[in-house]
Amino acid sequence: MAKGSWQQRIQRAEELTSQRPFVAEILGFYVQLARFQEGLYQRLENASQSKTEIALQGRVSGPPELRELVSSFGVFLSVVEASGPARLAEMARDLRHRGDEAWSNCLDTCWSGTQTSPAAPQEFLGRAFLQPYAEFVRSRIVMQWNGYTYSLCPFCNRKPGLGILRQMKDSARRSLMCSFCAAEWEFRRIVCAGCGEEDNRKLPVYVAAEFDYVRVECCDTCRQYIKTVDLTKNGLAEPVVDEIASAPLDLWAQEHGYSKLELNVVGM
């Protein structure tokens, strides 16, 4: 993702913070995270422009650039400690005190995608930190995914974190966005991204008046849900940010017995 896109996300989050006091705290945390992520992305880009090889070998303990990433993890943990919700802040403090080796292990596990499902809170920290790196690596690879029909990310094989509806010719098409590397790929509208259910009677969609452009797409077969940001209804929305800003819908879905297919970058 280009630098401008991080700025757009941050700007949108700041805008929504003033409009929606009930999610101001979580959006404030997101802004801090996104600023850190933008900085990390920028450093990776600069390093690649100065011809430093950023090789990805599946292990963060390998090349020097990745070791450098590990050292930035401490700074990231301090950011979460200072601005994250109490539970995450405590976890970040804990992990920060455990030092380099624990950090390497955490990042290794997260990068290789071998974490438990649902991810443990500590793994969430590693994932949020590595997310811009994943985005950076993906952006440098030319991907061909015409005809790809699966719900897992074609690049990193992780679950989608949200859906996006865009106007295409005369219909709105849904795509899914990876929760980790931010890849976006087209996915049929009436199919559960969790279990593949296609019977629309088992796929209820809920929309609340306060967020009429965010659809809670549920599945009564696997009892999971994903939120889809409808850009045909609100062209100002930044999907990643608006997904976070509609956090009350997550509470609603969970109260109704649905669990989220994949948590977002602020762990909700």
Nearer CB in complex with Zn ion: 197/238: 197
**Minimum CB distance to Zn ion, residue 19 (Å):** 30
Q: Sign of torsion, CA 13 131 83 78?
A: negative
Residue 259 engages Zn ion in binding (rule: CB under 5 A): no
Query: Is the distance from CB of 265 to CB of 128 less than 8 angstroms?
Result: yes
Q: Which residue has the tokens 């019977």?
A: 199
Only one of the segments 3-11, 94-102, 123-131, 148-156 lies at the binding site for Zn ion (rule: CB under 5 A); that segment is 148-156
List the one residue from 33, 106, 110, 183 that touches Zn ion (CB under 5 A): 183
Only one of the segments 2-10, 45-53, 78-86, 214-222 lies at the binding site for Zn ion (rule: CB under 5 A); that segment is 214-222
Residue among 95, 148, 97, 101 nearest 122 (CA):
95
Query: Is the distance from CB of 162 to CB of 229 less than 8 angstroms?
Result: yes
Residue 156 engages Zn ion in binding (rule: CB under 5 A): yes
Nearer CB in complex with Zn ion: 96/127: 127
**Minimum CB distance to Zn ion, residue 90 (Å):** 29
Only one of the segments 18-26, 46-54, 186-194, 242-250 lies at the binding site for Zn ion (rule: CB under 5 A); that segment is 186-194
List the one residue from 194, 237, 238, 246 that touches Zn ion (CB under 5 A): 194
CA atoms within 13 A on the CB side of 217: 30
**CA 250 distance to own-chain centroid:** 15
For residue 249, give Cα distances in angstroms to 9, 25, 142, 206: 20, 16, 35, 9
Residues 6+ apart with CB under 8 A from 112: 58, 59
Only one of the segments 44-52, 64-72, 216-224, 245-253 lies at the binding site for Zn ion (rule: CB under 5 A); that segment is 216-224
**Minimum CB distance to Zn ion, residue 219 (Å):** 3
The site for Zn ion (CB under 5 A) is made up of 153, 155-156, 178, 180-181, 183, 192, 194-195, 197, 219, 221-222
